[in-house]
Structure formats: C-alpha cells, structure tokens
Amino acid sequence: MSASRRFPNDHFLNRELSLLAFNRRVLAQAADDRVPLLERLRFLCIVSSNLDEFFEIRVAGLKEQLKLDSHAAGADGMLPLDVFRRVTEQAHELIAEQYALLNDVILPSLAKEDIVFFRRSLWTAEQRAWIHEFFVNEVMPVLTPIGLDPSHPFPRVLNKSLNFAVELEGTDAFGRSSGAAIVQAPRALPRVIRLPKKLSGVDYGFVFLSSVLHEYVSELFSGMNVLGCYQFRVTRNSDLFVDDEEVKNLRIALQGELPQRHFGDAVRLEVADNCSEIMTDFLLQQFGLERSDLYRVPGIVNLVRLMSVPDQVDRPDLMYPPFQPGLPKVLSKRYDIFESIRKHDILMHHPFQSFSPVVQLLQQAADDPLVVAIKMTVYRTGAESVLMEHLLRAAEKGKEVTVVVELMARFDEEANLSIASRLEEVGAHVVYGVVGYKTHAKMLMVLRREDHGYRRYIHLGTGNYHPRTTRFYTDFGLLTSSPEIGEDVNEVFKQLTGLGKATALKHLWQAPFSLHARMLAAIRGEIEAAQAGKSARIIAKMNSLLEPEIIEALYEASTAGVTIDLIVRGVCSLRPGIKGLSENIRVRSVIGRFLEHHRIFYFHANGRQDIYLSSADWMERNFFRRIEISFPVLEPKLKRRVLKEGLKPYLADNSQAWEMNGNGEYRIKPTRRARICAQELLLADMAVGAINVA
C-alpha cells in the first residue's frame, strides 16, 4: 500500500484495543464452567502469556513512539498517546478480572477437587517444618541477596523474572544500614512446589515459591529486622533491532542482539498488592516507569508459571479428553508415502488428523537412495524436532539438503540459531532468506530420481513445521506431486537461496510480489459478479485482518452486494454490519480447545469456487515485508473437504463463535438451536477415539 494513501479513519478499529479484546475472549474460556477445570486454569495462564508479549512488543512500541514525541496516527486516526491511555485503562481492567477469576472461582473450585494451594497463614506445624527444610536445602543455596548501598547499586533485573524487594531495619556486620535489598529468584527454581500427600492431607497440595521466600526471607539477613518483603516483576521491550542496511552477517548481528532482550527498556512493573507505597515508588524510579505502568496484583506476579500445574496433576476428568489424530483415508493402511502422493493430492487437517505423514515423508526421503535433494523452510520447529533429526541424517548420507532458516522468528531466534549450527556441521546448506523480509512460507520439497526423470514431492502448509504445536493448532497441509506446483515451489526456493528476478508463478500467489494484488483482484472479481447480478461470495478465515486496502476492497464488495463471512481469530480492524459500508459483512471469532490457525480464502468466482490456503494473514507485514505463499486446492474432492471442514462448521458454530459488531465488541449470541461446536464436530468426524465435551 502506498504510504501516502489514506482512507477514512472511522473505517478502522484500533489494533492494540482489538488485541486486548481477543484476550478477553480467551479469558472467557477460563470463566466457562463447561470447560474442564484444569483447562480453565490453563486458559488463565495463556492470557498472562499473551499479555506478556503484548507489553513486550505492542506497548513497548507505543512507548517508543511517545519517547520520540510521535504524532503519527494509525489507520484508525488515533494518536500514540491516546492509544497508550486506552490500552493502559483496558489492560488494568482485564488483569483485575483475571485475578478475580483466579482467586474467587478457579482456586476454590480446584480446592473442592483436592487440588489445594496453601496460604502461609494456613500452614500446619508439620507443613511448616517440611517447607523450611525445603527452603534451607533447595532454595537458600542458590539465592544471592543484594543489599542496596553505594557499592551495591540496584541490580540488573531480567525480563519477566521473579524478584523480591525487602525492606530492612538495623545494621549488618559492616555497619551498613541501607534499609533495602533485592532477592532474585533463579529461573531454575520451581515456582510451584508440591507437598507430600501425608502432609497436605489432599491429593495434590502445593505452595508457591513466593510464599516460601516471604516466610523465610529473614534468614538471608542475619541479625536484621525484615519490615516487608514484596514480590515484583518487570516486563521489558523485547523487540530485536537489526539494521537491515548496516547488517553484514545476519547471524552474527542477531547473536549480538539476543542477550540484550533480557535487559531492554522497562515497560511494565507488576507488584504484589501488599507492596508499600515507599517501595513501589522506589521500584518505579529504578525502572524509569510512571504510575500508569504499575500493576498491583492480589496474588503471584507471574501466572504463566501455573501452566505447569495441569501436568503435575493426574486428573484426566478435569482435562480435555485425549484423542488420537486420524489419517486421511488414502493413508489409513500401510502405505508408501511417495506412491500415495503420486496417486492423489493428500489434504491433512491438523490436529484432527496426524502430522505423521509429513514426518514420514522426511524420514523416507532421508533413507531412500533415489532421493537426491531436500529443501525446506523453517520458521518455528522446536529445538528437539524430529524433523530436524531426519534432515541431519539426510545430509550425513550425502543428500543435498538446503534449509532456509528464519533467524528473526520472534522468541524462537535462539532455537533457530542452534538448528542452523547443527545443520551446517553435517554439511547441509543453510541460508537465512532475504534480509528485511521474514521467510514465513511453509514449504518442503523432496527431489527424487525416478524412471522418467526427476519428480518433486511437495508439502505446503498453513502452519509451522513444529510437531508439538500441530497437536493443538488447527492447520491444513497439502502433499502433492503436481509438476506445476513443484515448479512454482522450486522457483521460490531459487529466490531464497540465490539471486535473480522474480518470475511469474503458475499457481502460487507470493508475497511480497503477487499476493496482495491477487487478493485484491479476487475480491474485485466478486464485485464485478455482484454488479452483473450473478452470485458473489467471499469467505475468509485467518488470524488477523489489518491491511487497509484489503479492508476497503471488502467494504466496496459489501456495498456491491457481495455476501462476505470473515472468521478472524484475533485482531480485526474492519467494522462489520455498518449500513452503507459493511452491512453484508459478518465477522466472527472462534475460541476453543485448539488455537484456530489456518488461513483459508474462498471466492465464488462464477461457480469455480476458488479456494486458497496460506501462511499469510491479511496484514501489511504479510503482504509487503514477508515471504509468504498462498496455494490453491485444485482437486474438487479436496475443495469440498476444505469447505466442509475448514469453513462451514465455523460459520455454523453457536457455542464458541463470538460475533463482532461495528464498534469492535464481541458476544456469543444466545440461541435456542441445538448446540454446534465446530472443533468438537471435527474431532468426532476425523480423530480416533475422541470423546466430545458436553
């Protein structure tokens, strides 16, 4: 989009406020008593994890704009200061609701199930003795209390680490009396400690590390009087900066930048609600923060660490029922993956269907003497990925292995650096894409020498090559040996690894070259059909919708009479249902057991029913600053599957689908119809042995 092109401000909703609205929908899952109890606790933790990233990236960006006294308005017309004020107000409200839900609902409900978090005031003498022994043997040896005086300035506090500010009275062995100290809790220490059953009197009894430190912190300051001990946590700017114009070696530049992530500018201070005003002001001063950046919480300051609790509790009745992912029918018996792909294109729908065919493709490729080359993109895959092990083995066996590793995948940079090093050690070709453009496309190509020459076997996906997340992210993957798609994929790999002009692709739409223009053309095709009195329909499913030109094209389509359904999990800047602008547009967001992640774009196209799957959301970064692909589903049978599985159930969902209005507000509309839950329907239809949640 041209930087000078502007559309009316009232056509757009604010990105940051929309992101907070998404987290309200996630929090609603924690409040929903139809969700199993331990899963409700997990959703509560997910909100905290999401908010951490929100402050680390989005709020940090706002504060940078304020520091520069920026008056640059977004597409919605809001100035950075106005956005920051509204974000701060709503974030405080959201966090207050979160802790109220934890303290008043979740923890009491867990206690009724014999899962108890013991407060210090309720410890018995026997529990106290055990906890003290744990403190002396396990906790105290790894603590380093730092008294604050001229020779011990305020320590560097790691991003999101647990710390304690201690108010002291008296003098130490050297006659010092600074009155304050900082105790940093090493990350190696568990934040939740399970008590022996005979001491807790319940099936699962826990104490928080913060409670243990509060109780025995005085033992770290012999002979001094502890007046107060307050847990706190600081969130820092975690956006990495690598100058695209100055960088000579992206890998070296990134290695130099990563350690600073832990010590970026502070953007939020969380303190326990019992923290004294004097200590609160002192901490704010140390971190250069204002009162608006302060979040007082009635409980532990890092709820993310409670994510480990469901894994420590053997109560399957309080969790989602387990299921075994199914397989497409063409792969349901013993199969040779190459032969199966030659016969048919294969569509896989995760997590309802297994990711194992992709793993098997790489495994078989590594061992097959006819395979001569493997090429793959890696955005997020996990440090211990089985896919990487197969790539390593293939390289060790002398196959040409080329991996495009995206070093700038946020919060996965260190894991990807490690993967790149391991691959290079065994002779694989590792490239880092194109500086200034994140490689976000999901592509795997296996080149095999067969009777009639080389044949390419392709996997394209909407999600990452990460076997763990395929178990709870919804995504589509396509396996094909189509020569035309194979040639397109090969061209994209040539761009990523070599030099040369971009060439026209037969089937793939590619960012930053053709994807945006092709999407606009597809939308305009529906506009022309509607204006000619023909059927016109757009259905699009994605994570985020922000790009102004696409939004304006959708408005134009709506006024032309095109029926438009948008299924947008997270951020949406489009205003639906506004008379004369978007009255033919409906926006819904589905939040449930699995993270909705696939991107699906359906255009009626005069009856052709064009369906594209993609790695790209409708955001400026995806269209113009990333290397993305959108690929067609060509076989009619597979098109019908995408409609049946990826779109229609979500449009019919009346259980977990939130309808959005033109002001950016969401609600689940009450209905008298039978309950329809898309994710449960898909589990029942495709998974093995799945049990629906009532």
**Tens digit of pLDDT for each residue in 253-292?**
444 444 554 558 999 999 999 999 999 999 999 999 999 9
Tell me the pLDDT of the chain averaged across its residues. 90
pLDDT of residue 499: 77
Residue 692 has pLDDT above 60, yes or no: no
Measured distance CA(345)–CA(482) in Å, rounded: 8
Domain count across the chain: 3
pLDDT of residue 689: 56
Short-list 23, 261, 88, 242, CA closest to 160: 261
Bond into 483 cis (ω within 30): no
pTM: predicted TM-score of the whole model, two decimal places: 0.91
Identify which has the larger pLDDT, 657 or 690.
657
Phi, psi values for residue 579, rounded to 5°: -60, 135
CB 656 within 8 A of CB 480: no
Share of the chain above pLDDT 90, in %: 75
Domain boundary (484, 507, 530) is at 507
pLDDT of residue 244: 43
Phi, psi values for residue 50, rounded to 5°: -60, -40
351 found inside a domain: yes
What's the CATH number where 639 sits?
Answer: 3.30.870.10
Whether 440 is a known active-site residue: answer yes
DSSP 8-state symbol, 189: S
CB 1 within 8 A of CB 548: yes
pLDDT of residue 176: 58
Query: What is the amino acid identity at position 216?
Result: Y
pLDDT of residue 246: 41
Separation in Å, CA 469 to CA 51, 168, 465, 466: 20, 47, 9, 6
CB 150 within 8 A of CB 177: no
pLDDT of residue 264: 81
Residues in the annotated binding site for ATP: 50, 473, 569, 597
Identify which has the larger pLDDT, 559 or 469.
559
DSSP 8-state symbol, 249: -
694 found inside a domain: no
Short-list 382, 408, 381, CA closest to 254: 408
Measured distance CA(648)–CA(636) in Å, rounded: 16
Residue 3: pLDDT band by 50, 70, 90 thresholds? very low
pLDDT of residue 500: 76
Maximum C-alpha span of the chain: 90
- Whether residues 557 and 473 fall in one domain: no
**H or E stretch including 229?**
strand 225-236
613 found inside a domain: yes
- Whether residues 147 and 204 fall in one domain: yes
Residue 693 has pLDDT above 60, yes or no: no
pLDDT of residue 218: 92
Pick the range with the lowest mean pLDDT from 27-36, 130-139, 399-408: 399-408
Query: What is the amino acid identity at position 228?
Result: G
Measured distance CA(145)–CA(219) in Å, rounded: 11
Residues in the annotated binding site for Mg(2+): 380, 410
601 found inside a domain: yes
133 found inside a domain: yes
- Whether residues 515 and 484 fall in one domain: no
What's the CATH number where 220 sits?
Answer: 3.30.1840.10
pLDDT of residue 383: 62
- Whether residues 373 and 440 fall in one domain: yes
Question: Measured on CA atoms in the order 331, 332, 336, 339, is the torsion positive or negative?
Answer: negative
- CA dihedral angle for residue 154, residue 155, residue 159, residue 160, rounded to 10 degrees: -80
Query: What is the amino acid identity at position 621?
Result: R
CB 155 within 8 A of CB 267: no
CB 461 within 8 A of CB 476: yes
Residue 541 has pLDDT above 80, yes or no: yes
323 found inside a domain: no
CB 166 within 8 A of CB 183: yes
Identify which has the larger pLDDT, 423 or 645.
645
Bond into 155 cis (ω within 30): no
Query: What is the amino acid identity at position 667?
Result: R
Residue 520: pLDDT band by 50, 70, 90 thresholds? very high
Query: What is the amino acid identity at position 529?
Result: A
- Whether residues 301 and 414 fall in one domain: no
Domain boundary (507, 537, 570) is at 507
- Whether residues 272 and 343 fall in one domain: no
197 found inside a domain: yes
- Whether residues 88 and 218 fall in one domain: yes
Residues in the chain: 694
Question: Mean of the pLDDT values across residues 309-337?
Answer: 91
- Whether residues 312 and 349 fall in one domain: no
Question: Mean of the pLDDT values across residues 665-693?
Answer: 82
Bond into 351 cis (ω within 30): yes
Question: Mean of the pLDDT values across residues 451-455?
Answer: 92
Short-list 356, 361, 359, CA closest to 339: 361
pLDDT of residue 255: 47
What the block records as the tokens of 299 is: 């409980």
- Whether residues 372 and 291 fall in one domain: no
pLDDT of residue 150: 54
Question: Mean of the pLDDT values across residues 72-97?
Answer: 95
Share of the chain above pLDDT 70, in %: 91
pLDDT of residue 258: 43
- Whether residues 39 and 170 fall in one domain: yes
Task: Please write the tens of the pLDDT for every residue from 37-79.
Answer: 999 999 999 999 999 999 999 999 999 999 888 888 989 999 9
Residues in the annotated binding site: 50, 380, 410, 473, 569, 597
148 found inside a domain: yes
Set 11, 440, 466, 604: catalytic member: 440
Residue 485 has pLDDT above 70, yes or no: yes
- Whether residues 238 and 376 fall in one domain: no
Residue 636 has pLDDT above 80, yes or no: yes
pLDDT of residue 247: 39
CB 284 within 8 A of CB 269: yes
Question: Which range of residues forms the domain containing residue 572?
Answer: 510-686
- Whether residues 98 and 50 fall in one domain: yes
β-partners of residue 475 are: 350
Domain boundary (507, 537, 572) is at 507
Helices 37-53/15-31 angle, 10° precision: 160
Question: Mean of the pLDDT values across residues 22-28?
Answer: 97
